[in-house]
Copies of this chain bind each other. A is one copy, B any other.
Amino acid sequence: MPALIFDLDGTLVDTVYAHVFAWQKALQETGMAVDGWRIHRKIGMSGGLFTRAVGREIGHELTDEQAEELQLIHDRLFRELLPLEERRPLPGAIALLAELRDRDVTHGIATSGRRPSIDASLESLGIPDDTVVVERGDVARAKPEPDLFIECARRLDADPAECYVIGDAVWDLLAARRARMLSIGLLSGGYGADELQAAGAFRVYRDAAELHSSLDELGI
């Protein structure tokens, strides 16, 4: 039986557009405006890689202080724009995770986000405390490096070759390839289907709800 490793933002919770807009405002506040669509296509990378990519967009590298300031402003704006009580699971996410528990399908969550800022998202999903969750602070390198998924497979005691990664961003799918895992793309993060397929997704579903009703296509 395969094991499932889920991304969090844009895959299980509806936070991508709040993240995009928080970064857009943070960049504007610090005098480094970047187009919204370019920010959108970078969501899901680690914050460190994200600020390096921003440096490329604006034509010069950010200093460590600038990168840290930017991250802090983003975090503050994100909390203001999307208060904890408005953190919302994507359609089908809660039911899908509940069925995986009921049927003893091995599964975990691996996210480029950090505690405590991901805590409200995890809470909104109503998952038990013993769910395997690997976050940015648990590994040396975040997506598109494979470390988060490899660490999640290790904690699940699953063979990477038997793991499916489920994600909404090309960074999930690239990291899955590098971890020697198959991957499934969801449109719920706002990428187009072709972008996900080109990055290696062998199936693309609209959202967790459609994935839930298609589990047999994965041999589950």
Q: Tell me the A residues contacting B by CB distance below 8 Å.
A: 10, 14, 16-18, 20-21, 24, 28, 33, 35-37, 39-40, 81, 86, 88, 90-91, 187-195, 207
Q: How far is the CB of A37 from chain B (nearest CB, A)?
A: 4
With the chains together, A55 CA to B194 CA distance in Å? 28
Chain multiplicity (copies): 2
Residues in B neighbouring A18, C-beta threshold 8 A: 21, 24, 36
Q: Interface SS of chain A: helix, strand, loop or mixed?
A: helix
Q: How far is the CB of A55 from chain B (nearest CB, A)?
A: 17
Q: Among B10, B91, B187, B192, point to the contact of A193 (Cβ < 8 A).
A: B192
A197 nearest in chain B by CB position: B194
With the chains together, A192 CA to B14 CA distance in Å? 19
Q: Among B37, B40, B81, B188, point to the contact of A35 (Cβ < 8 A).
A: B188
Interface contact A37-B86, CB-CB below 8 Å: no
Given A18-B21, A20-B17, A21-B81: A37 in contact with B188 (beta carbons within 8 A): yes
Residues in B neighbouring A195, C-beta threshold 8 A: 192, 194
Residues in B neighbouring A191, C-beta threshold 8 A: 192
